[in-house]
A and B are shown apart, each in its own frame.
Chain A
Amino acid sequence: MLAGPLVAGLLGTLLPALGYLPAIGAREIGSTVFREMLAEPGLARAAWLSATTGLIGAGLALAVAMAIMAVFAGSRWWRAIRTATPAFLAVPHAALAIGLVFLIAPSGLLVRFAIALSGIDRTVPPDWLIVNDSNGIALIAGLALREAPFLLFTLIAATHPFETERQFKIARSLGYNAAEVWLSVLLPQLYRRIRLPVLIVIAYGVTNAEIALVLGPTSPPTLTLLILEWFRDPDVARRLIGAAAAAMEIGLVVLCIFLWLVIERILTSWRQKLVNAGRVRPLAVIATWSGRSAAGLVYALGLLAMSVLMLWSVTGRWRFPDPWPDSLSLAAWVRSGDEVSTALGTTLGIGLIASVLALVLAVLAFENRNARRGVPRNLGRKTQNLGIAALYIPLLIPQISFIFGLQIAMIRSGLDGRWAGVILSHLVFVIPYTALILIDPYRKLDPRFARTARSLGHGPWSVFLHVNLPLLARPLAFAWAIGFSVSCAQYLTTLFVGQGRVMTLSLEALALMGGGDRRQTAVMALLLALLPVASFGLAAAIPRLAWPRLYRRQSVRTRPT
């Protein structure tokens, strides 16, 4: 069912890249378009920026997530960190970036506070190139800030409580401190489990539009922003160049992933050398310090950015260098209330159907895979793995290039402008994320539980209901919440496939965010975060409500997964 939209989306990118788009009279297949693309000003620099910011941002996010885990797991702060992390995931990327700009820009809150506190008489902000700097440092910071909580979340989900606790106890009894244990024993094991999410974060970092648009360099911008520009150029022939660049971007992502695997190897052997030489302690000291400061920084910046957004949403006027709004007003909220009330129901309906469908499909696929575990590797298994790998393609290229083909397929099948079409196209993006969360829990699910149940005469459905479902309740609930959030966030898919007849919250919100009124933007960002935050709250509550005896305690060490 998903192969259709997927193939259509890819063809919609590749055929125009080769010069074939009959609707605008382009019919000659060849490499002309690629040559034209290579002559575009700033292309090489844009590709370089995409690759470096994506790789460094993802690496930094991973380092921060691991350092936080190493320093705080099991400490008294742990519970707060675990509770706060999913909330960060619910915040729309663009919103976090916009909040961050208002915090760190030369006219931002930090400078305003500094001016107010120091008493310097200054009415003009300093001319510092902090955001939109030409090397993408602000973009890297934004990516790390947004993706560290995501990786921390997957790390937490991948932690195997019984095993972790056992190893922890043994190592502590040998006189190692917590960070040392994590560095030398636990993190290497965990890294293997979150490798796929890390690769997804790299792909996102290289291809993202939202954060790059707000924080990234401008002349030239990153590759994805160039592609967007070409796809939106009134000269429709430029779409071909956009498509060629999108095809090139797939290559760029693959290259970055390859580079990452090389870096990973080098780091692994370096760490191994340190462990073998018994010199982990200095690294552990660094990890402890950087973990503490990183956690502080990530959560403080994130919280401040969101608070600033909330403040802006009730601002009337607010000028530089005032540290506090000159006047407060609920006008932006009132205005938005009218605009979004109907869209809320549509978003909820589509999100629920898409996320539940994705969850069911993913569970069916994984149950089926687990049932076949132990069967010798054969062609069927290999194709299945390839199929699963193909699922992630939509996450590797900019949506706008992919969606054109998807849209044509939807029109051909008559599904455009209907809920069914919108849900189907959302699934293309919802399923990979849902599956991503479930891969590892299913992999580490002890098959002996199910085997025992089956030997007691339970059928597959009964085994799932009474054994796997309760055991996997937490990852299943979070996978659902992630899927729901992804559906809520879909903008281009909903606009193009829904043909404007299916109006969701993100359509209303992004249109208004384009207006540049920061108060309106703030209200919309908060409204956009509302449903996802609620879904994560629900996901946290469901396992505890449904299986109170299994999920009574919250500690990472004793939590069954």
Chain B
Amino acid sequence: MICFLRKIVLAAALSTTPLAALNAMEGWSDIEAAARGETVSFNAWGGSPAVNDYIDWVAAELDNRFGIELVHVKLTDTADAVSRVIAEKSAGRTEGGSVDLVWINGENFSRMKEEGLLFGPFLDRLPNAALIDVEDNQSAVVDFALPTEGYEAPWGLSQFVMAFDGDEVETPPRTMRALLSWAEAHPSRLTYPAPPNYIGTTFLKQILYEVVEDDAALLEPVDAEAFEAVTQPLWSWLDALHAQLWRSGRAFPQTDVAQHQLLNDGEVAITFGFNPGNIANMIENGTLPENVEIATFEAGTIGNTHFTAIPFNATAPEAAMVTANFLLSPEAQARKEDPAYWGDQTVLEIDGLEPEAQALFEAIPQHPLVPPPGSIRPVLPEPHPSWHELLERTWLERYRR
């Protein structure tokens, strides 16, 4: 029954009918046949050796099982892949494009979708799409308030967390009020990545959720006229905080990883990240010190899903779909959730899986620092993208001059 319900929900979310899904399933063996011998150019951020190793493993499996060659194009920024697709469109290359699959979410996705740069909808054609947990995780089908409509396949789940030096921070400040008083008591020991870095902007949204009166409004397109009044508590809070920040708020780390390095150098006591398992992975490999602990905010933490998508002019869309489907398989998802490899939460609904698939997830050794998957609640949805833009803009106007 649950399984049936899920299919209905999924089918509704994908704006398709169960019958169409069935037909699509029948076509899957044709897709696999067409994919054999193809090369998939997977454009994905290449900054983490752990993630790169994971993608290497995926490449080996794809080669063995499906005869697909996966090439990881290591990006420093997803925007570079978007740029490439735009350039190809500008030059009139509507097929044979250089990007087959891209690791994407949020604004980059919404822009590519709006500009008609994506192939699809394709999610309903992937057999493993039926395993996705859409009931507990809205963000699997609504990416930053934008319905994905099957134009991208969920890959992993992230939640905003704070990591801190356990010797210096005895009780982690789990509300914004507590964070401010902690900063006042420990001047220059806190900072956050400067927006428009996405962790920095997420920090602003996290504050906003706590200080705004009506948080339902955050899911609607922003009312530009009311914006100033609605966000006033956020800016007053930040004004008070900035004087207490590292370097008195006159310099900010430009990325989250730069702030992790500051924590390792002892320059600050707290850093922010989007993935508890990833923080654990960094403690294991020595990028972060061993006394680091993880905490989340009481009022809930912003969570979002990251996806894979196929550009409109991909050279091998079938092979890209087979890849996206494999990335959603219980085997690939379980390995990804294991902090020994990556530590990224799965997007599958474990209870709905076959027993042997469930066993894969149960076998993952629980890291003492990482809250069990699904235990960080509530998950706050990403505000509507229009908030994102205005928040960034206002932050820059106030603090960059």
Contact = CB atoms under 8 A, between A and B. Distances in A.
Interface string A9-23: 000000000000111
Given A134-B250, A496-B87, A219 B400 contact: yes
Contacts of A217: 251
A233 B286 CA distance: 32
Given A236-B82, A320-B265, 14 more contacts: A45-B401, A107-B267, A132-B247, A134-B250, A317-B289, A404-B83, A407-B83, A407-B87, A510-B76, A511-B76, A515-B49, A516-B47, A516-B287, A517-B49
Contacts of A221: 254
Contacts of B49: 335, 339, 512, 515, 517, 520
B86 A23 contact: yes
B246 A127 contact: yes
Interface residues of A, number: 71
Given A234-B111, A496-B84, A42 B265 contact: no
21 contacts: A105-B267, A129-B247, A129-B251, A218-B194, A219-B250, A220-B400, A232-B79, A233-B79, A319-B265, A319-B289, A320-B265, A411-B93, A511-B45, A511-B74, A511-B75, A512-B46, A512-B52, A515-B47, A516-B256, A517-B257, A519-B287
A165 B134 CA distance: 81
Interface string A214-233: 00011111000000010111
Contacts of B287: 516-517, 519
A232 to B, nearest CB: 4
Interface in A409-456: 409, 411-412, 416-417
Nearest to A46: B400
Contact of B111 (A129, A213, A236, A411): A236
Interface string B94-129: 000011000000111011000100000000000000
Contact of A501 (B71, B111, B187): B71
A496 B261 contact: no
Given A127-B246, A234-B111, A320-B265, A508 B251 contact: no
B251 A234 contact: no
Interface in A131-145: 132-134
Contacts of A370: none
**CB-based closest 10 A-B pairs:** A516-B257, A500-B73, A515-B47, A320-B266, A511-B46, A234-B107, A499-B98, A511-B74, A232-B79, A411-B91
Contact of A21 (B90, B99, B396, B401): B90
Given A125-B266, A511-B46, A232 B77 contact: yes
Given A129-B250, A404-B87, A516-B257, A416 B98 contact: yes
B7 interface: no
Interface string B374-401: 0000000000000001000100110111
A23 B90 contact: yes
A114 B84 CA distance: 49
A552 B41 CA distance: 52
Interface in A302-359: 315-317, 319-321, 327, 329, 331, 335, 339
A456 B282 CA distance: 72
A42 B399 CA distance: 9
Contact of A499 (B77, B84, B262, B399): B84
A123 interface: yes
A241 to B, nearest CB: 12
B277 to A, nearest CB: 16
Interface string B65-89: 0000001011111011011101111
Interface string A89-125: 0000000000000000111000000000000000111
B43 A412 contact: no
A222 to B, nearest CB: 12
Contacts of A233: 79, 196
Interface string A517-530: 11110000000000
Interface residues of B, number: 72
Contacts of B254: 213, 218, 221
A207 B83 CA distance: 21
Give the one of A25, A507, A517 with max B CB within 10 A. A517
Give the one of B189, B196, B260 with max A CB within 10 A. B196
A8 B315 CA distance: 25
B311 to A, nearest CB: 12
A236 B397 CA distance: 20
A337 B272 CA distance: 31
Contacts of B87: 23, 404, 407-408, 411, 496
A319 B290 CA distance: 10
Contacts of B247: 127, 129, 132
B48 A515 contact: yes
A319 B250 contact: no
A495 interface: yes
Nearest to B80: A495
Contacts of B194: 218-219
A163 interface: no
Contact of B264 (A123, A319, A404, A412): A319
Contacts of B77: 232, 514
A501 B41 contact: yes
Contact of A316 (B45, B73, B82, B286): B286
Contact of A511 (B47, B53, B79, B397): B47
Given A105-B265, A516-B47, A41 B74 contact: no
Contacts of B88: 411
B358 interface: no
Given A232-B77, A500-B73, A107 B110 contact: no
A123 B165 CA distance: 12
A236 B286 contact: no
A514 B47 contact: yes
Nearest to A319: B289
